[in-house]
Amino acid sequence: MAENVPGPRPTPDGHGDGTYDGTGGGDGSSLGDPPPGDAYPDEAGHVPDDVPPRAEGRPRPVVHPRREWKARPPLRPAKILDRAPDRIIVHHTSTPNSPDMSLEHAYQLSRDVQRFHMQGRGWADSGQQLTISRGGVVMEGRNRSLDAIRAGKHVVGAQALRNNSHTIGIENEGTYKTEDVPDALWGSLIEVCAWLCVRYKLTPSLAIIGHRDLNDTDCPGDRLYARLPDLRDAVALRLGPQALLSSPVPGVPDMPDGVGLPSPGDASSLPQPFRRR
Ligand SMILES: [Zn+2]
């Protein structure tokens, strides 16, 4: 990767080693119109900066689209599957725990992650679908992610080896081996998970997992991982009766990853059993 990049850069944390980059050619599928009452205040997809997350009502996180953080174009359009993911994967970026909570810092984080994934990893685009800064700024990651989420479909990312075809990943800025997550990040993470659970009809207690539950990695760090039960509870509380919705694919997923796509190194692999530790 480039050595002249200002600001903190993502470091390898095990997300990427051999992680299947599930991007393929564009499938030309139409995402259709977003359902009424979706998470975006205007049809153009722009979300005003000054709209706070809602403490009640339908989860509606402020999500900054790629154009706001000035994403590079992807090498290829992301592949979209006509189904919902069944797991939400919580990651940490393994970058420094910056005290800078600003919007510009958040945008720089997204650019740095994208640059690392494209130039360092050789992927087509950012691997994760969503990114949250320590200041709580929520951003679109991989291209087409927001349109897909709005349509209840799944953008195949590159964030969980052998499991990209059925999981959506959230990269949380920082390193949480020993340090706890900032309140701003935590609040946004709850809101985003609640939003995804509504959009994809997922049950928080089943759907929300850590990266280490699927792959051989310390991600998202011991401290953040230890808070996942709290996260599941907080999301369920946020959703209220909606949390009783059934997961569309309960239990351990049984589909191979990268359906219909070549996937070097994992052609014979099936999703690993979930590990709780
Ligand atoms: Zn991870």
Across the range 37-43, mean pLDDT stands at 33
What is the Å distance from ligand 1's center to 138 Cα?
17
- Lowest mean pLDDT: which of 10-19, 48-57, 75-84, 108-117? 10-19
Q: What average pLDDT does the chain have?
A: 77
Q: Which pLDDT value is given to residue 18? A: 34
pTM of the full structure: 0.73
Q: Which pLDDT value is given to residue 266? A: 31
Going by pLDDT thresholds of 50, 70 and 90, the confidence category of residue 272 is very low
What is the Å distance from ligand 1's center to 176 Cα?
11
Evaluate if residue 49 carries a pLDDT over 60: no
What is the Å distance from ligand 1's center to 76 Cα?
23
Q: Give the percent of the chain with pLDDT over 90.
A: 65
Question: Ligand 1 (ion): which residues have CB within 5 A?
Answer: 15, 91, 211, 219
pLDDT digits (tens, 9 = 90+) for 151-190: 999 999 999 999 999 999 999 999 999 999 999 999 999 9
Evaluate if residue 138 carries a pLDDT over 80: yes
Sign of the C-alpha dihedral computed for residues 37, 41, 45 and 47 taken in this order: negative
Across the range 38-61, mean pLDDT stands at 49
What is the Å distance from ligand 1's center to 73 Cα?
23
Q: Which pLDDT value is given to residue 57? A: 77
What domains, with CATH codes, occur in the chain? 78-244 (3.40.80.10)
The structure tokens 């990943």 sit at 169
- d(CA 237, CA 232) in angstroms, rounded, equals 9
What is the Å distance from ligand 1's center to 81 Cα?
22
pLDDT digits (tens, 9 = 90+) for 82-119: 999 999 999 999 999 999 999 999 999 999 999 999 99
Q: Which pLDDT value is given to residue 55? A: 54
Q: Give the percent of the chain with pLDDT over 70.
A: 67
Across the range 44-66, mean pLDDT stands at 64
Q: Which pLDDT value is given to residue 60? A: 83
